[in-house]
Amino acid sequence: MPSINELYGWLLDIYPDPVEGVILWFLDEDGIQRHRLHQPFPTSFYVHGPSSNLRSLWRYLKSLPEPLQLSRAEKQDLFVEKPLSVLKIMTETPPAQERLFNQLKRSFPGLVYYNADISVDLRYAAQTGVFPLARCRVLATDEGEIKTLETLDSPWAIDSPQVPLLVMALSPDSNPDHREPISLKVHLQGRHYTFPFRDERGLLIKLQALLRRYDPDLLLTVWGDNWLIDKLHQLMEKHHITLSLNREKGLGVERREERFYHSYGGVIYRGPQARLFGRIHISTENTVMYHDYGLEGVYEMARVTSLRIQTAARVSPGTGISSMQILTALRQDLLVPWHKQQVEWSKSAYNLLQSDRGGLVFQPTVGLHANVAEIDFISMYPSIMEHFNISPETVGKSSKNSTFVPELELNIDQDQRGLVPDTLQPLLEKRIRLKQELAGMDPRDARWHPFQARSSAHKWLLVTCFGYLGYKNARFGRIEAHEAVTAYGREALLQAKEAAEELGFRVLHMYVDGLWVQKEGASQIADFQPLLEEILDRTGLPISLDGIYRWIAFLSSRPDPRVPVANRYFGLFKNGTWKVRGIEVRRDDTSKWVKKVQREMLDLLAKAPDAGQLVDQLPRIHALLQTRLSALRQRKIPLEELLISQKISRSLEEFKVPSPAAKAAAQLAAIDKNLIPGQRVRFLYTRGKPGVFAWDLEERPDPKIVDIDRYAELLCRAAYTILQPLGVEERTLRWWMFTNAGYGAPPGFLPDSCSQETPLLGDYSWTMHHLDPVFFSAH
């Protein structure tokens, strides 16, 4: 009998094997040894359909040479009242199951398939309770076969110990889309290495030496998916030198093609992927939300979704929440449909208008307001799903204890717990616990950053779960459940508004899950606590005080100042932090230079002790704008700071009138650098035709061709965004920027009614009277 070894450690990776079932890599508890273990893993899927078709399928399967176990079973479909009679097909390994399913769906397209396309990581998690980076106790033979696996951890614990992963960071010294990199930078164990690409053989030998010596768990690359991994493979083939990118010998790199899709009116691009086996590869530029939550957030996404770390890093939060729902269904022994089977119920025109209204949005009171509190429901829509038991199978179902959705002719079954609330409950509880810990934690605490990253990962999952409930391809989605959530959301926000007004507060703005309130004499946390308690009592939903603004400005539409914009504002909290929405500093298509100047303007406003003294900062802002505009006209701004980055919304041939981004993309296409919808193109605005210069062209642009007037106009718009609430009219601002400084206004910059000799003053004419050249030169 082979001896049995006991191992304590963390799960690093899991993937299927055509012979051994599944392969699992563990990091020993001491963080030194890595163990390759394996386990048989027979895999099942189910088929439902007419009895005659199932008999034909049975005979066909019996004729196949590969070993299969066939049996009939009774299984529950979430959307069917009674259990279904299904054919259970069990294969010896996950790869065999995948091959067979792909064969059957072509040969028997009329049958209904369940549990057919579920990844091995989710199947294994459902069966064993293990998840990525889980601390485990394993009993295995000398040959590495797992006999017992026990999870000693929970994905819902907030104080799990840090896993001592060894990370090797690899980055080319330049963006390959812009120019061919000269060297490869490597960071490992506090040491930095630089390997020139011109010494191709030497680069491979040195990199392989580092891989063998340190055996890193994670390769953290920049442009790894898009360029670096392919480049290394080209060099390996050329020089016949093998890099140990995988820990699993004999396997290559798992590649996924680039793709794009439409979501919420936008185009989302997902780049190509290069995944490894036994070693983790994360490419930062292709990792969803990496800029928001970093590696800690990626780890947390993997822990709570049970997806492989490499997968969790690259998929959208929607795929993450779908994986969690699949995992819940598997653990409850529910069938997981291959395709969504539910269609929207027929509705009258009146019912459609009532139900399809989305979240409640209030028109804000435009202007500047002091001592304003922002009150937010904590994860409002997920909380509604969990609190009111909203799930695809509970909506529209009457029961003894069913509830009635406000405004909709719709019942919610309360006798059975829904799959979606079951999925969300532990995630909501963990996020609330993390936020409570963070509220009283010093930012210098070592736990602060990982807790913040985990909370951010939860936020994106919870935000997405609502949209996924109504997504057309969601397996466990139903549009009526989506509409029920928004109906409860509108009702909760109206109840909060009523509570605020009854307690003497003025409601300045409401937006889906939050409201901004003001009350004379109320400026401290304690002044708003009775309102929070009243809202909680009326709605039953968790709510929090997001903060108290020293002042906040709600902005209007640029074309018509009489029209408020719901999600366009900026405000300064009493703790000195900013919250901005919808303005240039938050937009991805704004140049770094314009963002930088707008931030400088905000920093100047932050120096005012209160809202009443904001206008005192106008002279300094004017001087700042003149200085920055002067630097622009003298061409002292680095071209990199003037770059505009915009998405390509469609293929180039679909543009009837090409946008600036399309013109830049066409320049790249001319040199075989083709972009697909959803990708970004960087360009400079230039004088003359075509008006843009694509930054990723091989030649460098002449700084003299940059359209200075265009960038001055962009700066003027950004400045007006900040100064409008202070009473500065746009034509007055233009006079400040383009006339009073002696540059002269470019054609079309001043309206005909505005002379270049006389300024047009805004509401603060008494302040503007002091804005003369002598004053500015002194400041």
Nearest to 552, CA basis, from 565, 568, 563: 568
> pLDDT-based confidence at 1, cuts 50/70/90?
low
Q: Give the span between the Cα atoms of 640 and 663, in whole angstroms.
A: 19
**CA-CA distances (angstroms) from residue 136 to 33, 102, 207?**
15, 34, 32
Residue 137 predicted with pLDDT over 60: yes
Which phi and psi angles does 565 have, rounded to 5°? Answer: -115, 125
Amino acid at 79: F
Mean pLDDT along residues 336-356: 78
pLDDT attached to residue 264:
63
CA distance 707 to 608: 35
Q: What is the mean pLDDT of residues 162-170?
A: 94
Res 759 pLDDT > 60: no
CATH number for the domain whose boundaries are 361-415+475-582: 3.90.1600.10
Ramachandran sector of residue 181 (left: φ over 0; alpha: ψ -120 to 50; beta: rest): beta
Question: Per-residue pLDDT for 4 more than 80?
Answer: yes
The mean pLDDT value for 6-22 works out to: 96
Least trusted range by pLDDT, from 102-106, 580-584, 766-770: 766-770
Q: Which helix (H) or strand (E) holds 651?
A: none
**% residues pLDDT > 70 (the chain):** 94
Closest CA to 622 of 740, 451, 479: 740
pLDDT at 763: 38
CB 42 within 8 A of CB 169: no
**Assigned token pair, 190:** 């506090």
Question: How many whole angstroms separate alpha carbon 129 and alpha carbon 151?
Answer: 7
State the average pLDDT over residues 190-197: 96
Exposure letters 497-517 (e unless 16+ CB within 10 A, then b): bebbeeeebebbbbbbbbbbb
Please tell me the CATH code under which domain 617-767 is placed. Answer: 1.10.132.60
Q: Is the pLDDT of residue 760 over 70?
A: no
Say what the pLDDT of residue 157 is: 94
Q: How confident is the model at residue 745 (pLDDT cuts 50, 70, 90)?
A: very low
- The reported pLDDT for the residue numbered 487 is 93
Instruction: Evaluate whether 711 touches 642 at the Cβ level (below 8 Å).
Output: yes
Q: In Å, how far are 185, 216, 227, 549, 641 from 222, measured between CA atoms? A: 10, 16, 9, 39, 21
Radius of gyration of the chain, Cα coordinates, nearest whole angstrom: 30
E strand or H helix at 611? none
HEC string of 126-163 equals: HHHCCCCCCEEEEEEECCCEEEEEEECCCCCCCCCCCC
- pLDDT for residue 510: 96
pLDDT at 754 over 50: no
Buried b (16+ CB within 10 A) or exposed e, 583-611: bbbeeeebbebbbebbebbbebbeebeeb
Quick check: bond before 690 cis, omega within 30?
Answer: yes
If we measure between CA atoms, which residue out of 482, 498, 195, 256 comes closest to residue 357?
482
pLDDT at 149: 96
Residues 652, 659 contacting (CB under 8 angstroms): no
pLDDT band at residue 260 using 50, 70 and 90 as cut-offs: confident
- Is the distance from CB of 552 to CB of 369 less than 8 angstroms? yes
What does the pLDDT average to over 526-530?
95
Spell out the domain ranges in the chain.
43-126, 361-415+475-582, 617-767
**If we measure between CA atoms, which residue out of 595, 637, 625, 584 comes closest to residue 739?**
625
CB–CB of 585/595 below 8 Å? yes
Multiple choice CATH, 43-126, 1.10.10, 3.50.50, 3.30.70, 2.60.120: 3.30.70
Say yes or no to pLDDT of 276 above 50.
Answer: yes
Phi, psi of 294 (to 5 degrees): 65, -160
At 443, is the pLDDT very low, low, confident or very high (cuts 50, 70, 90)? confident
pLDDT at 191: 94
For the CA atoms of 46, 51, 56, 57, what is the dihedral angle to 10 degrees? 0
Joined tokens for residue 250: 């004999």
The pLDDT score that the predictor gives to residue 775 is 28
Residue 778 pLDDT greater than 50, yes or no: no
Assign 343 a pLDDT band (cuts: 50, 70, 90). confident
- Tabulate helix, strand, coil % of the chain (nearest 5): 40, 25, 35
Q: Are 46 and 335 in contact (CB under 8 A)?
A: yes
pLDDT, averaged across the chain = 89
**Selected residue with higher pLDDT from 759 and 119:** 119
The per-residue pLDDT for range 651-710, each reduced to its tens digit, is: 888 888 899 999 999 999 999 888 888 889 999 999 999 999 999 998 889 999 999 999
Average pLDDT over residues 43-65: 95
pLDDT at residue 597 tops 60: yes
CA-closest candidate to residue 274, choices 323, 226, 334: 226
